[in-house]
């Protein structure tokens, strides 16, 4: 059987680079769960923002592999050690992505706009004091500022610019990031959303959310958001899911 | 870094109006074979800034691309597609620098990875 994900023993490491962890595995599981759709989607350009160890972009390249020939991959990270580790991880699996040491997609937003068919992001989502955001080294892999949203809120507009008309975004979020608010914000930009994987660990409750452009959603959003009325359709289902999960989590933590 | 990515990359320094294309200073170019995929080439062709690609390929020591932006009918020519494929996907700038066309600021490229991180006064 051909390998569908990166192998941990072949993932390179460095003290200043975030190692594959529950959130990375959850994101790769989400991509695997959606793999048939990804193959049928036939992306031309795929991109990862914040590639860290390279586990996710390598896995994506392996799972699309020969079935979708000619896909090209680009990955960025603000941490110079991370892009170097990603390079080694890709090489160990005999796949290629062009790597750029940059902040989110700085330098790419003009010319790469509207070209990315699949974007994967495991952002620094941990709530921290604001002054921890943007520090060098491994802190850049998790420090997310207030509600863990400081970097996510910079990535979303960038993703909106880069994604093609048929572009998909897979984003890791934590309950503390207020995923339902993220979904509403994306809905205003014309994206529908669905939770592909939900996973609770001892420490965190993760949602891997997939976003795609949906023109009906944008029309709805224009009607809904200014009036603060309840969302309808796809978003309704999604948001109720998120609310329920958030509720369950806060309920259980109250009990503890 | 391959020329596909070079063609998508601009100088990101604050206040720079025309940061594209970045000039290439070559220390080391390597070639790695990639499976030929005409569909990918036809898909990406309309998105490529031709002059930037020609200029970049010449900096990298390859001079067989036509100077003039090719008609889309050229995409039926295997000979043309092979050259386009080679330039776009098989040439890697392994060591060197990318230079902002407006300010002359150099972005180093080490082990094939461009460093586009800005200093505080450039953001």
For residue A111, give the nearest of B1, B20, B44 by CB distance.
Answer: B20
What integer pLDDT is reported at residue B82 of this predicted model?
Answer: 97
- Is pLDDT at A234 greater than 50 in this prediction? yes
| Mean pLDDT confidence for A29-51 | 97
What integer pLDDT is reported at residue A47 of this predicted model?
Answer: 98
> In this complex, do B113 and A83 lie within 8 Å of one another by their Cβ atoms?
yes
Contact residues on chain A for B49, CB-CB shorter than 8 A: 111
- Domain residue limits, chain A: 8-255
For residue B116, give the nearest of A72, A87, A107 by CB distance.
Answer: A107
- Band the pLDDT of A163: cuts 50, 70, 90: very high
Can you spell out the DSSP letters for A57-124? HHHHHHHHGGGSTT-EEEEEES-HHHHHHHHHHHHHTT---EEEESSTTTTTTTTSTT-EEEEEE---
Interface residue B30 vs chain A (CB under 8 A): no
Interface residue B49 vs chain A (CB under 8 A): yes
Candidates A71, A91, A111, A114: best to mutate against B (most CBs of B within 10 A) is A111
What integer pLDDT is reported at residue A3 of this predicted model?
Answer: 62
Q: How much is the mean pLDDT over chain A?
A: 88
Within-domain flag for B19: yes
CB pairs under 8 A between A and B: 77
- Is pLDDT at A225 greater than 60 in this prediction? no
> In this complex, do B8 and A69 lie within 8 Å of one another by their Cβ atoms?
no
Please choose, from the candidates A161, A14, A147, the residue with its C-alpha nearest in 3D space to the C-alpha of residue A77: A14
List, for residues A87-142, the tens digit of each pLDDT value. 999 999 999 999 999 999 999 999 999 999 999 999 999 999 999 998 888 989 98
CATH no. for residue B30? Answer: 2.20.25.10
Domain that holds residue B90: 3-114
Tokens of A28: 């790769």
> In this complex, do B113 and A100 lie within 8 Å of one another by their Cβ atoms?
yes
- Is pLDDT at A224 greater than 80 in this prediction? no
For residues A123 and A105, the answer to whether their CB atoms sit within 8 Å is no
For residues B4 and B89, the answer to whether their CB atoms sit within 8 Å is yes
- Is pLDDT at A172 greater than 90 in this prediction? yes
Contact residues on chain B for A74, CB-CB shorter than 8 A: 5, 8
Interface residue B31 vs chain A (CB under 8 A): no
> In this complex, do A84 and B2 lie within 8 Å of one another by their Cβ atoms?
no
Query: So what's the ipTM on this one?
Result: 0.96
- Is pLDDT at A51 greater than 50 in this prediction? yes
| Mean pLDDT confidence for A29-34 | 96
For residue B9, give the nearest of A44, A108, A115 by CB distance.
Answer: A108
What is the rounded CA–CA span in Å between residue A164 and residue B10?
19
| Mean pLDDT confidence for A52-75 | 95
**Number of independent structural domains in chain B:** 1
- Is pLDDT at A193 greater than 60 in this prediction? yes
List, for residues B14-57, the tens digit of each pLDDT value. 999 989 999 999 999 999 999 999 999 999 999 999 999 999 99
Query: Which CATH code of 3.30.1300.10, 1.20.1090.10, 3.90.1300.10, 3.40.50.150 fits the domain covering A8-255?
Result: 3.40.50.150
Q: Which residues pair with A27 in a beta bridge?
A: none
> In this complex, do B111 and A87 lie within 8 Å of one another by their Cβ atoms?
yes
Within-domain flag for B13: yes
Contact residues on chain A for B4, CB-CB shorter than 8 A: 72, 98
What integer pLDDT is reported at residue A250 of this predicted model?
Answer: 42
B23-31/B91-99 β-pairing? antiparallel
Interface residue B99 vs chain A (CB under 8 A): no
For residue B8, give the nearest of A70, A78, A112 by CB distance.
Answer: A112
What integer pLDDT is reported at residue A240 of this predicted model?
Answer: 60
Among A119-123, A136-140, A214-218, A238-242, the range scoring the smallest mean pLDDT is: A238-242
What is the rounded CA–CA span in Å between residue A190 and residue A192?
7
């Amino acid at each position: 059987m051909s390998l569908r994900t990166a192998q941990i023993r072949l993932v390179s490491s460095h003290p200043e680079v975030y190692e594959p962890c529950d959130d990375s595995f959850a994101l790769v599981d989400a991509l695997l769960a959606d793999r048939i759709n990804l193959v049928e989607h036939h992306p031309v350009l795929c991109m990862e923002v914040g590639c860290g160890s390279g586990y996710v972009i390598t896995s994506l390249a392996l799972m699309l592999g020969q079935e979708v020939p000619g896909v090209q991959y680009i990955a960025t990270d603000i941490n110079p050690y991370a892009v170097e580790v990603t390079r080694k991880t890709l090489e160990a699996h005999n796949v290629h992505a062009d790597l750029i040491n940059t902040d989110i997609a700085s330098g790419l937003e003009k010319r790469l706009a509207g070209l990315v068919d699949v974007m994967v992001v495991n952002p620094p989502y941990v709530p921290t004091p604001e002054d921890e955001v943007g520090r060098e080294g491994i802190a850049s892999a998790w420090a997310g500022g207030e509600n863990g949203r400081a970097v996510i809120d910079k990535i979303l507009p960038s993703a909106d610019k880069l994604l093609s008309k048929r572009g998909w975004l897979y984003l890791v979020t934590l309950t503390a990031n207020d995923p339902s608010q993220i979904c509403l914000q994306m809905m205003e930009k014309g994206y529908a959303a669905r939770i592909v994987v939900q996973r609770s660990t001892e420490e965190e409750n993760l949602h891997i959310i997939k976003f795609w452009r949906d023109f009906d959603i944008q029309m709805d959003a224009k009607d809904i958001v200014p009036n603060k009325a309840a969302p309808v359709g796809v978003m309704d289902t999604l948001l109720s899911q998120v609310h329920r999960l958030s509720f369950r989590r806060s309920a259980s933590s109250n009990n503890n | 870094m391959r020329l596909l990515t070079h063609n998508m990359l601009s100088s990101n320094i604050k206040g720079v109006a025309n940061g594209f294309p970045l000039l290439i200073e070559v220390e080391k170019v390597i070639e790695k074979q990639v499976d030929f995929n005409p569909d990918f080439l036809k898909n990406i062709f309309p998105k490529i800034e031709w002059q930037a690609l020609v200029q970049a390929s010449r900096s990298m020591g390859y001079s067989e691309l036509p100077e003039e932006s090719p008609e889309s009918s050229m995409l039926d020519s295997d000979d043309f597609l092979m050259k386009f494929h080679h330039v776009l996907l098989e040439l890697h700038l392994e060591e060197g620098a990318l230079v902002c066309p407006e300010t002359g600021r150099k972005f180093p490229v080490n082990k094939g990875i461009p460093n586009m991180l800005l200093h505080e006064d450039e953001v």
